[in-house]
Structure 1
Amino acid sequence: MQQGSSVAAFPAFSNMMEGGAGPRGGKRGADQAMDQNKKRAAFDDITNHFDEPEHPGTDAQCSEMFPTTSASSYGYLQQQNNLQQPAAYSQGVCGGGCAPFAAPGFQLAPPPPRSCRPVFVDIDEQDHDDPMACTTYVNDIFDYLRDSELKRRPTTTYMESVQSDINPMMRSILLDWLVEVGQEYRLTSDTLFLAATYIDRFLSLVDVKRNRLQLVGVTSMLVAAKYEEIYAPQVEEFCYITDNTYTREQVLDMEREVLRVLDFDLTQPTIKTFLRRYVKAASGEIPLDVTFEFLTSYLAELTLLEYGMLDYLPSTIAASCVTVALYILFHGRADCVTWSATLSHYSGYLPGDLRHCAQAVHQLFIAAKSSNLPAAREKYASAKFAQVSQLGCPACLPEWMFL
């Protein structure tokens, strides 16, 4: 940073952990000149928090209770309810009855023949004349994406098996910060989800020291932005967003390393990929407005912060976000519907397949209201997103949702 100058900043992470609010909105190019009197706090302040648990005694207690997952509402749910995955679960189950994973050589069970399914709505009927909708091939495309999500998954236990200096809370803080970065530069949500995937795939293969974790995160965001955005931010802007903690050369060196580790395999279906399709399927039978789409996106972003959600496939998480969002919006109505034949047809999931993942998503929604990671909650508390993070919901999901 040049001597005597100051730049617009996100709040220090110490302030964020205490509930302080940070700036929102985009600041690029000429906009940055308007914020020269503000000071940016560097991400490396986070290391002060890594040495101490968020709540005294929490880390030690949780490491005993949940040795293979983060200290989270997801882990709490699994422990308290003693949940066991059904043997016929569509994703496969490890021998210990833990959450689903992609076993070597495992193939996702094909959906039942269309002739055996209940009547469903053709959600692509109105788009047959739109060449951009690819209605002739859209079902084949999503069948391919369901197969692809099995092949490029990060290791679900990399924090225990690969990493020696970082933990799930550090990952959560990093991704919470990237939510703000996405807002700062007005990046699409697809970029955020793709960056999170790159981070997890990289951390599954490379042991990263805590002082380089932010560099991995911001570089993954750079690569994802180049893939998804029409006009991606420049390298210098990603240096700026870290308060110039890293130089341009360091970011470019890390970009080369990320691409090498990922073997330049950058095309990957994310939660957002499936969520867009499932939201359209839900709207086929149930009258829904944009609030529903905002709520599903909020739930999906909450799952990004939770290390334990890596146990589930992106398509499973997307379908679970849809069913939980329907319950949150309509739980007080006698005609509340949280799944449909159309959703089953286009997702390939039955309600019972989503039980454990949906319960985890629901608990994340409940816990987010008092979370010390506020970026997603504050983002979706704005009028722009219909304030969906402020919606209320019962403490438990009813059993009839999964029958």
Structure 2
Amino acid sequence: MDLTCNENFSNSCTAERDAAIFDDSRVMNNLLNDEVFSIPSCDYFQTVQNDIQPFMRKVVTTWMLEVCEEQMCEDQVLPLAVNIMDRFLCVCVIKKQQLQLLGATCLLLASKMRTTNFLPIDLLCAYTDYSVSYKHILNWELLVLSKLDWNASAVTGFDYIDQVIERFPWGAENGLLRSHARTLVSICYTEPSLIQTAPSVIAASCLCSAVRGLKLPSTNQAISDICGILNVNPSSIEYLVTVIDDAVAKVSTAKTGTKPAQGYECPQYGQPETPTEVEVIYF
């Protein structure tokens, strides 16, 4: 009996286009109908949290993004992790010293839901420079889930990217369009000003920004198709496209080692750390 395996693994394997997903309008309709339940219910900086400031969220979510990049997580992990964190902060008051612990816990939850290989707790502890323990993350995993009524699933901007690209001919004009749009979605989820922005609007803005940046031959048609299928007013995303471009510029500036952009990192806190009082929680 010949048991030789002739499969070629020299190139990465990707799933073929699934017509049941991309040719059925009900999929997009369900995403648009369900996304309202995924949007954080309030601006918790103003109404819930007394100790958390927008720049602190920026620092921690940027740290979360870097963890995902280093561990080569699936692109959908970060948006869901940040969404879980935002929804939790809408219902539970914490201290600023507990924010990185919350971020690590949300990364654990999101990686369990959106990937087959979730981020190990020991690894997340190492990324916090061991300022949080294995037990802390385990306890907070239950805390976060209980505060969200065990509903950790959510529609994110990432979920729309393939749905839109696969439905129009211009989606194949540039092989970089998908990766650029996904990268922009991840960056958007680190921006405090976009906490209550609908996922469909984030996706539309990121796709339009990517289309313009790559200068697709069908740029105008693509923007029209994107706004049409996502029920977004083209004029309403112009501001968000500007926000995205500014955010990308900040990230580029930070990675090149030049002077950090204002609001990107606070010198008072620097690298986010979590002191020993992480177990103190206000209900």
- If the length of structure 2 is used for normalisation, what is the TM-score? 0.76
Identity in percent: 23
Alpha carbons of structure 1 residues 179 and 135: separation in structure 2 relative to 1, 3 Å: closer
Equivalent residue number for residue 317 of structure 1: 202
User: More deviation in 360-369 or 223-232?
Assistant: 360-369
The aligned counterpart of 1:364 is 247
* Superposition pairs of residues 110-129 of structure 1, within 5 angstroms: none
Provide closer, same or farther for how the CA distance between residues 258 and 360 of structure 1 changes in structure 2, counting only shifts above 3 A: same
Higher RCO (CA < 8 A, seq sep 6+): 2
Question: How many equivalent pairs are there?
Answer: 242
Q: 1:205 is paired with a residue of what secondary structure?
A: coil
Q: From 141, 147, 152, give the equivalent of 1:255.
A: 141
Cα distance 1:156–1:288, how it changes in 2: closer, same or farther (>3 A)? farther
Residues 1:209 and 1:344: Cα distance change in structure 2 (over 3 Å) = closer
**Which structure: greater helix fraction?**
2
Match of 1:329 in 2: 214
Report the CA distance between 1:266 and its aligned residue: 1.6
Match among 274, 290, 302 for residue 160 of structure 2: 274
Is 1:302 equivalent to 2:209 in the alignment?
A: no
Gaps of 5+ in 2: 1-15, 258-283
Q: Tell me the residue number matched to 1:12.
A: none
Gaps of 5+ in 1: 1-125, 375-403
Secondary structure in 1 matching 2:176: helix
2 CA distance for matches of 1:354 and 1:320?
6
Q: Distance in 2 between matches of 1:364 and 1:208?
A: 27
CA separation of 1:290 and 1:213: change in aligned 2, threshold 3 A: same
TM-score, scaled relative to structure 1: 0.55
Task: State whether residues 67 and 127 of structure 2, in contact with CA within 8 Å, keep that contact through their aligned partners in structure 1.
Answer: yes
Q: 1:248 to 1:311 in 2, by over 3 A?
A: closer
Distance 2:196 2:141 in 1: 27
1:191 to 33, 57, 77: 77
Q: What secondary structure, in the 3-state scheme, does the structure 1 residue paired with 2:73 have?
A: coil
1:308 and 1:352, CA in 2 relative to 1: closer, same or farther beyond 3 A? same
- Which residue is equivalent to 2:21? 134
Of 312-321 and 151-160, more deviation after overlay is shown by 151-160
- Paired residues of 2:87 and 2:148 also in contact (CA < 8 A): yes
Q: Could you tell me how far apart the structure 1 residues matched to 2:184 and 2:72 are?
A: 20
Alpha carbons 1:194, 1:270 under 8 Å: kept:
yes
CA distance in structure 2 between the aligned counterparts of 1:249 and 1:149, rounded to whole angstroms: 33
- 1:347 maps to which of 225, 230, 233: 230
Deviation at 1:300, TM superposition (A): 1.4
Distance in 2, Cα, partners of 1:236 & 1:199: 20
Paired residues of 1:312 and 1:357 also in contact (CA < 8 A): no
1:287 and 1:152 map into 2 onto residues whose CA distance is 30
The structural deviation recorded for 1:338 is 6.2
Backbone CA RMSD of aligned residues: 2.6
Say which of 284, 289, 293 aligns to 2:174: 289
